[in-house]
Homo-oligomer: A and B are copies of this chain.
Amino acid sequence: MDMPSPDAGALARRPALLAELAAVVARDALISDPVGLRAYECDALTAYACTPLAVVLPGSTGEVAAVLRICHAAGVPVVPRGAGTSLAGGALPTADCVVLGVARMTEVLEVDTADRLIRVQTGRTNLQVTAAVEEAGFFYAPDPSSQLACAIAGNIAMNSGGAHCLKYGVTANNLLGVTLVTMEGEVMEIGDGHLDAAGLDLLGLICGSEGQLGVVTEATLRILPQPEGARPVLMGFASAEAAGACVADIIRSGVLPVAIEFMDRPCIEACEAFSGAGYPDCEALLIVEVEGSEDEIAATLRRVLAVAAAHDPVATREAADADEAARIWLGRKSAFGAMGQLGDYICLDGTIPVSQLPLTLRRMSELAQARGLRVANVFHAGDGNMHPLILFDANTEGQLETAEALGADILRLCVEVGGCLTGEHGVGVEKRDLMTAQFSAGDLEMQMRVKDVFDPRWLLNPAKVFPLAASAARREAAA
């Protein structure tokens, strides 16, 4: 993985930089010793690691602005970091950068149930946002699998989704406003707590911008009333394609479950061994969750099962009570941990039209065979957001590279069938050079010109999102 290295000058200027940073944050908020820095060398894409010049963990928007002003004046790149759960290397440091983490900024600033919103500092975890409003009968809808750990800052940077976004939309659909600090240290309030905004909608641009435009320190999020009830049904199928076809038919039938999750055999077996969820012995399973009153749940599940019948399910199980529902979800939510026990894997994140699920699953398995690797699948099927896990052995020479090549094959396939390089993990470093598979040179140039507006010197989250050669050229031209 090519990343910019520090020049001799950057290292020489490091002591002065550290002194300046120390003056604007709390004593324990500046990390510069090698042991302390280790924890920030990588994010959840652990195949890559790089030690930054320093890490700062400011306690307020004002401190974030002060840190950015210092780095901007010194021409030092800044890598913003939430909880560091990025699977795409979105928070991977460069050797010449300062990592700016918002993990200590976890306050709830405002809860307003009449206006259906909560305002938080963005270091707060996703699940802790819901925790702050659940007693009042509300919840925050986007629910990435990492919701226990991941920070709202990262959710906004990557426009995260989750199992329930089939019904409730992704982060962009639930974000009402942000406080953004630009690389120059200017604090901007963007969005105003409403779904629309006057003037150009910079909020829509900020959401999903992967730390390229500024550091988001506070966010106003839409909260929703909790549904009366919810119940999952588990359905096993004789082939992955049958399960895929069933998903397309459910959506086509006009039923809108709150979630449709897909797992194939390798994943089912790993999850079963890990969590004992009681999953059936089959090639693929779907977890379909519906919401509403008891009657509505029963009626909707009847419709789902009627559609599924055409695909000859080998097993179906409705959750009889809350415990059983929890156990069905436990298996799914532990999937990534469970797969980790089987060995090394790369978790991909592509999106495809739901109608293309059966075709994509078949072609993916052919691509894997051609590279001599196995792929396990566990993903949000209802909205076509796939998470193929490529299994490999990091200790076998060349396997990581083969796995990466297969990952690129699969993501190109997603684009080919009418999909997108990323659903919710972002481009990060992982997919920067695949961007040309999705976007024309003109499209990318337009995106980079928008980046120019917010970060003219290209100091924010360097070497990510855009093809490396393109962003390096941009940074050099601006220097």
Please name the residue on chain B nearest to A116 by beta carbon.
B251
* A125 smallest CB distance to B (angstroms): 21
Please name the residue on chain B nearest to A190 by beta carbon.
B443
* A221 smallest CB distance to B (angstroms): 14
Please name the residue on chain B nearest to A255 by beta carbon.
B225
Contact check, B197 vs A208: say whether CB atoms are below 8 A apart. yes
Contact check, A447 vs B199: say whether CB atoms are below 8 A apart. yes
Partner among B194, B295, B384, B420 whose Cβ is within 8 Å of the Cβ of A351: B194
Contact check, A196 vs B161: say whether CB atoms are below 8 A apart. yes
* A471 smallest CB distance to B (angstroms): 12
Q: Is A60 an interface residue (CB 8 A)?
A: no
Contact check, B165 vs A435: say whether CB atoms are below 8 A apart. no
Partner among B225, B421, B438 whose Cβ is within 8 Å of the Cβ of A254: B225
Contact check, A138 vs B254: say whether CB atoms are below 8 A apart. yes
Q: Is A58 an interface residue (CB 8 A)?
A: no
Inter-chain contacts of A362 with B (CB < 8 A): none
CA distance A190 to B427 in the complex (A): 17
Contact check, A447 vs B202: say whether CB atoms are below 8 A apart. yes
Contact check, A114 vs B252: say whether CB atoms are below 8 A apart. yes
Partner among B113, B190, B196 whose Cβ is within 8 Å of the Cβ of A422: B196
Partner among B113, B202, B293, B384 whose Cβ is within 8 Å of the Cβ of A194: B384
The B-contacting residues of A in range 168-204, CB under 8 angstroms, are 169-170, 172-173, 186, 188-190, 192-204
Inter-chain contacts of A452 with B (CB < 8 A): 453
CA distance A248 to B253 in the complex (A): 36
Inter-chain contacts of A92 with B (CB < 8 A): none
Number of copies: 2
Contact check, B295 vs A201: say whether CB atoms are below 8 A apart. no
Q: Is A112 an interface residue (CB 8 A)?
A: yes
CA distance A293 to B299 in the complex (A): 9
Partner among B159, B299, B355 whose Cβ is within 8 Å of the Cβ of A201: B159
Question: A186, A208, A254, A351 — which one has the most chain B CB atoms within 10 A of its CB?
Answer: A254
Q: Is A24 an interface residue (CB 8 A)?
A: no
Please name the residue on chain B nearest to A249 by beta carbon.
B114
Chain A 245-263 interface mask (CB, 8 Å, partner B; 1/0): 0001101111110000000
CA distance A444 to B199 in the complex (A): 8
* Given A159-B201, A442-B188: A112 and B435 interface contact (C-beta under 8 Å): no
The B-contacting residues of A in range 196-254, CB under 8 angstroms, are 196-205, 207-209, 212-213, 224-226, 248-249, 251-254
Q: Is A312 an interface residue (CB 8 A)?
A: no
CA distance A419 to B200 in the complex (A): 16
Inter-chain contacts of A353 with B (CB < 8 A): 112, 114-115, 193
Q: Is A431 an interface residue (CB 8 A)?
A: yes
* A189 smallest CB distance to B (angstroms): 8
Q: Is A120 an interface residue (CB 8 A)?
A: no
* A478 smallest CB distance to B (angstroms): 15
* Given A112-B355, A442-B188: A201 and B207 interface contact (C-beta under 8 Å): yes
* Given A188-B446, A226-B254: A195 and B293 interface contact (C-beta under 8 Å): no
* A41 smallest CB distance to B (angstroms): 26
CA distance A435 to B199 in the complex (A): 8
Question: A116, A385, A418, A439 — which one has the most chain B CB atoms within 10 A of its CB?
Answer: A116
Please name the residue on chain B nearest to A299 by beta carbon.
B293
Given A194-B351, A198-B439, A293-B295, 9 more pairs with CB closer than 8 A: A173-B173, A192-B418, A193-B418, A194-B383, A194-B419, A194-B423, A199-B444, A225-B256, A226-B254
A residues bordering B, Cβ < 8 Å?
112-116, 136-138, 159, 161, 165, 169-170, 172-173, 186, 188-190, 192-205, 207-209, 212-213, 224-226, 248-249, 251-256, 292-293, 295-296, 299, 351, 353-355, 383-385, 418-424, 426-427, 431, 435, 438-439, 442-444, 446-447, 449-454, 465-466
Q: List 21 A-B contacts (CB under 8 A).
A: A115-B353, A115-B355, A172-B201, A172-B204, A188-B443, A192-B419, A192-B420, A194-B351, A194-B419, A199-B444, A199-B466, A201-B208, A202-B205, A205-B205, A225-B254, A292-B292, A293-B293, A293-B296, A296-B296, A449-B453, A453-B453
